[in-house]
Amino acid sequence: MSERLSYPDRDCDLPFGLGGALDAAVAVRCGDVRSSELVDTVLGRMSVADADLNAIVATCPDRARREAALADHAVSSAAPMGPLAGVPISVKEAFYTVEMPTTWGLPEHKGWIATEDATVVRLLRAAGAIVVGKTNVATMLADFAQTQNELYGRTNNPHDLTRSPGGSSGGSAAAVAAGLTFLDFGSDLAGSIRIPAAFCGVYGLRPSANTVPQDGFAPPAAPPTALPPDIAWVSTLGPIARTPADIRAALSITRTSRAPQVSPKKPVRLDSLRLGVVLDDPNCAVASDVGAVLSDAVDRLAAAGVEIEQGWPRGVDPDRAMPSFGFALQRFMAAADPTSDWSATDAQIERERHTLTELRAAWARHFTGVDAFLCPVNFTAAIAHDDRPFDERTVHTVDGQRRYDEQPFWTAQPAVAGLPALAAPAGRTSAGLPVGIQLVGPKDGDELILDIAVLLAGVLGGYRSPGRASQANDDEHRSGTPA
């Protein structure tokens, strides 16, 4: 039996009925709501609803209220305002943030506070956003499917408190899904944005490599680490939100000026859209309840006029890509940790570079014939909490037990190729759990896949709050028809 979240205001699933960060920004600028009201409401939701979730691990109410008062004054005086002016947001605990702790979940760093903001935090503040809180992480960000650490404890999924919100940005996705914040920023190596977004029914973007600056995203007091340029792509930072428009706004605010972007050659429309699609693979079979949702989603897109091309890109072997991704992760971790004794020979490194070059060329060829590529985010919906040691964990699906470490198979495919990938809501299982679909674009095609995500939301429905999703699922079971 699932356990549902108790909301502080059951008559209004989201603060003031505002769906996303841009909605809130417009409401503030137009005087429909004061930033001070938004901040107080969000802080109140954090203190009440988060008792069940444990998604928010630190807040800064005094500074948030001061900044909200400044935003309200700017509105009354018709002063220029940033695109997110007056909007309360949160960021993953792993970002350096003045006046709030950065510990990466390590008890020995309890209370450590950075003296300056991470670049992402600074840019969001410059756009007028008010950083009200920080969200929970897996210990040292070292878990892709659960969010738990000795310092802050475990975060629950707002759709079912007995299940995980994913990791390592699980606090981020849970907070966004539950309406505790209007926007959050996370990090993604093996799926740490996309898996939580899928588990919680929100949008999460792994941007193209080297799009968002990483300064100030580091363990407490860690010295800057110079990574080899050929593996810098492994780590990415990206937004988690309730709408594609909010993802676009956050990316625009935080994108480095050096990051190129591929613009659509023509307006993106459903009846001219061509999508590559793979919904299952023998190397990582998708559970039948998730597969049914994804299959239905693709059928609905086809009925709306989207042209579907089935199959992996020619020259892309997903099973072969996994060891290459694992090798890159090992190189990345070793370079980031001066105490690591892992090493690779020049011949091994050169061989893997060649493999990645061929793989990325195959993807590039594929995108000359399709606009984007659709595949699962994970083979399962949100998993049950599992406190066993990592190598003893399993995933229970409707079809039986699976290995825990299988979960990044689908998120690794675009990551190893350095491609942008967006987790987007695709529907819910019969048990009411969100299912995400992964929208992959060509290199530097972040804007393109966000355009496409807007169209997909018009067909598939987009975000639903946990309260509404639960009610809709109840109605579906009572009536026997899809909600």
C-alpha–C-alpha distance, residues 234 and 417, integer Å: 10
Distance CA 203, CA 360 (A): 25
Return all residues near 48 (Cβ < 8 A) that are at least 6 apart: 6, 8
CA distances (Å), origin 446, targets 419, 459, 482: 9, 20, 32
Residue reference for tokens 């600028």: 29
Task: List CB contacts of 272: < 8 A, sequence separation 6 or more.
Answer: 266
Q: What angle do CA 388, 390, 391 make, to 5 degrees?
A: 105
Question: Residue 241 pairs with which residues in a beta bridge?
Answer: 203
Give catalytic residue positions: 92, 168, 192
